[in-house]
Amino acid sequence: MKIEFRGYDLEVEVTFYTPGNPGVTSGPPENCFPPEDEDVDWQLVDDDTLIASLIYESESLCDEVTIAVLEAIYKEQEAVLEDYGDSLYAHIKDEGYD
C-alpha cells in the first residue's frame, strides 16, 4: 500500500488489521460487550532508508504513519463499498426493480 507521509511516498505493508467495534453497553448483560479499538501493524517495505530509520526511531512519527495507514485503509474500504453499491444498483435495475 502506498501512502504519502510528510511529502514522501512510502510503500507500507500492512501485516495485521482488525477493525474496531463499538461494543454493546445496553440491554441484557448477556448481550453486552465492551468496545474494542481498531488495531493495525505495518512495516515499511524499504526499511533500510534514512526516512525509515527516522520513522522507526520516533514514536510520534510511527503514530503519524499509523494514522496515514488507517486513512488509506478507510479509503480502500470506501471504494469497495462504493463499487458494491454500484453493482447492486445495476443488478436491481437490470432485474426491473427500480
Where residue 36 sits, what CATH number does that domain have?
3.30.300
Q: Which domain holds residue 20?
A: 2-94
- Domains of the chain: total: 1
pLDDT tens, per residue, the chain with 98 residues: 999 999 989 999 999 999 999 999 999 999 999 999 999 999 999 888 899 999 999 999 999 999 999 999 999 989 888 877 878 778 787 877 76
At a CB cut-off of 8 Å and minimum separation 6, what does 4 contact? Answer: 10, 68
Q: Quick check: pTM over 0.85?
A: no
Q: Taking a C-beta distance cutoff of 8 angstroms, is the pair 73, 40 a contact?
A: yes
Backbone angles phi, psi at 21, to 5 degrees: -140, 125
